[in-house]
Structure 1
């Protein structure tokens, strides 16, 4: 990692290496505002029917459909099988991908099929480990949705199964392979924000759907839904459609806002910084509005400590989720450093660099006589704390994806399928996935225990 790069050197490098989108002030002006273009190139390949990667989907719900839609945009991929525990989703799979695809309620039957090369595991969280391990043992390449695990101890089983099988396993935090992440990592390593001090992440929502009150189909009943299989290793209870279709709301099957949303941020943060993750978490919050039977909070704030490493300074991270945000909603992800800040999205990165004020102004000088004020000014001037160079190169640069960019979701699957073909390496393996999931699960551990918790990010275990 390159540290302490001069502002002028960094900005000159950034400008000369990226094509400008719009004309604006030169980068060497005292204040600038510019837009620059990101770019992505893909292999120009064509595939015959025999070269196709045959894909199976396990969990044909909301995320499973979005995942499969993104995956099938990658050349050389064919959908051949789908599994779900609700009959209506199997009907929907045939509507989307053809009446000839194989459908089943039993994922094991899908894994037995020799024409399935790779699977997407997009089930409720409490099934991730079991199905991912079984798929790897069956010799399938696995794309497992985040969070990789529901419980800390499950991660090592997936890591071992991947190593033993030698199969490809990509964890599905879909923004990981995006242009935004790629550029932010480069900027950070070039010293764009100096030493990191804080990460500020928030996600505000203001809708029932955003708070996971998903629609329940009118034909949901014990005949159309295999509820007993859905429960898996969770406590046995009578058929309850809300728990099946709104599983994110319950600790028995999901991981709350931390597993759904924090894990994306940790994937991006750890990737940009080349970090193993935090070593301490303190969470608070509560169930403030959506009193629909759920047993996870809808408002939460978690503070994390990151220790100093070879790739980053010690810093703090604040994660905030509000599912009843009267402001209307929105989100953000900001890396704040000693020399600037970056707002990172899948399609863009905004870098702001400001002047650090080192000389006292009128606020504190008012307490002294005019004669003393002048002596203080002369003393600071002699130290040259605010040189002319420190006033240059202050402003904002935004790197944006071009029109027609296929998006981070596409890129993550492109990365996955290229790895299957032996033409690249995945960007989010099970070890990376456990570090991201483990950091997120710390929030739940702290919230439900009511105190701070410690984590060993290298060994990936609670302390």
Structure 2
């Protein structure tokens, strides 16, 4: 491996005190459980009305609103239009952003407007491919909610459309540009955990809302919901409000827990370790509690194999989702290496290093006579496997975002809009988006096939 993932290398860099080494200035005193403040500097440009980026929202549901609110925290952005297939959501858009915004139930009217520079696409997953391609071909910059595609086969068409258009396309896994991800990537590259051995990711939920049982408005009807347009290329079924307002529960429109939640973890994992993704997945699970008509599992466990590359060793990843967690809920994302582990969040990174025991204890020596035990201890002592320095290199260090941090969601949109203004690069382009979505969707393929599945992370297709 080209990457030097060793504690010795990491500590040497930390001890140098170079201004360029910002990962762990107090790493040698980690045993004192240091808390270090992370920093983020933003440009303070002031934009006139002529310089602003005009934004439109396509899909004014829960995530679409949160996306737009985050986007508008970036200077020089104005929302000018919103689209949704449910009339009351267009009313809500005007409540939130003013009566002067243009609203429609036909996204094509958004794309035809010359005064719109960029669009947020926060529709159900089965509409992502078509609307993203249509928007790029219409000359709009695109921010598409994760997962980028409903089926991995759709990804190459988006990649090609983006390249042909020359427009910016950012995939919206909102934690990607966060301080936590940035610090974790830096720590990993500097060898803070040694060689990665496994990833442990889980997300437990214990509420109807967390299990996607979203409220259905009492006025929902064929008159104010364009259900036929919602279905698109999905199988034709009679009007059913649950399918429209709780679309994540159906594989015809969504991608289950894999596309909704796994994809966030894959985005962070692949970013932090500079990986193209796994090459094998094996999933199990079932519908244990929320038997409300949904056809996707509410408990899912998937094991992934990552092959050895120039940036990481071969390792395994465990992804677990439970929508009926009697513990009350919680989540975690932990990278475990040969010399330490990192727990990563958008606002913090916790690095723990432990002392590897190489000398036998009384547990294994008990079967030998006392004289033999002394000889064995003496032999290990001569090897000097455990030094005082190795004991001092243990402990926990936590990097924390400041209280005034604007958050990973803001940072992801800041990255998007900066790329538009400077014709630059985004942190999560369509190729990255397909690698994250493709890896996540392997869980669905394995679950429904009831067998392991293989993936080519470089060519981004099933083997």
TM-score by shorter chain over 0.5:
yes
How many angstroms apart in 2 are the aligned matches of 1:19 and 1:447? Answer: 40
Partner of 1:3 in structure 2?
5
**Deviation sequence 1:362-381 (CA, Å, 0-9, x none):** 11111111011111111111
Distance (Å, rounded) in 2 between the aligned partners of 1:191 and 1:54: 43
> Is contact 1:30-1:391 (8 Å) kept?
no
Matched residue, 2:125: 125
The reply on whether 1:293 has 2:296 as its aligned counterpart is no
* TM superposition shift of 1:12: 2.9
Contact 1:32/1:394 (<8 A) preserved? no
Instruction: Output aligned runs, 1:176-325, within 5 Å.
Output: 176-325=176-325
Determine the structure 2 residue equivalent to 1:102: 102
Change (3 A) 1:304 1:14: farther
CA distance in 2, matches of 1:20, 1:157: 42
**Which residue in 2 is equivalent to 1:431?**
431
Q: Residue in 1 aligned with 2:333?
A: 333
**Cα deviation code 1:241-263 (max 9, x no counterpart):** 00000000000000000000000
2:23 touches 2:187 (CA, 8 Å); kept in 1? no
**Contact kept? 1:201, 1:331, Cα under 8 Å:** yes
For the structure 1 residues 52 and 158, does the alpha-carbon distance in structure 2 shift closer, same or farther, using more than 3 Å as the test?
A: same
Q: Is the 8 A contact 2:27 2:397 kept in 1?
A: no
Q: Residues 322 and 328 (structure 1 numbering): CA distance in 2 closer, same or farther, change over 3 Å?
A: same
How much is the aligned-residue C-alpha RMSD, in angstroms?
Answer: 1.6
Check conservation: 2:159, 2:430, Cα contact below 8 A.
Answer: yes
**Does the alignment pair 1:402 with 2:407?**
no
Deviation string, structure 1 residues 76-108 (Cα, Å, up to 9, x no partner): 000000000000100000100111111000000
- How far does residue 27 in structure 1 lie from its aligned partner after superposition? 4.9
Superposition TM-score, scaled by structure 2 size: 0.97
- For 2:80 and 2:124, how far apart are their aligned partners in 1? 22
4+ residue segments displaced more than 6 Å? none
Runs of at least 5 residues in structure 2 that lack an aligned partner in the other structure: none
CA displacement at 1:390 relative to structure 2:
1.4
Aligned partners of 2:14 and 2:23 also within 8 Å = no
**Alpha-carbon displacement from aligned partner over 1:277-313 (angstroms, at most 9, x marks no partner):** 0000000000000000000000010000000000000
Change (3 A) 1:282 1:90: same
Q: Please state how far the C-alpha of 1:15 moved relative to its aligned partner.
A: 10
Q: Distance in 2 between matches of 1:159 and 1:125?
A: 17
Rounded Cα–Cα distance in structure 2 between residues aligned with 1:13 and 1:439: 39
8 Å contact from structure 1 (residues 10, 191) kept in 2: no
Say whether the 8 Å CA contact 1:79–1:97 is kept in structure 2. yes
Cα distance, 1:39–1:29 mapped onto 2, change above 3 Å: closer
Contact 1:56 1:80 in 2 (8 A): yes
The verdict on how the C-alpha distance between 1:449 and 1:13 changes in structure 2, with shifts beyond 3 A counting, is farther
1:139–1:458 Cα change, 3 Å: same
What residue number does 1:462 align with? Answer: 462
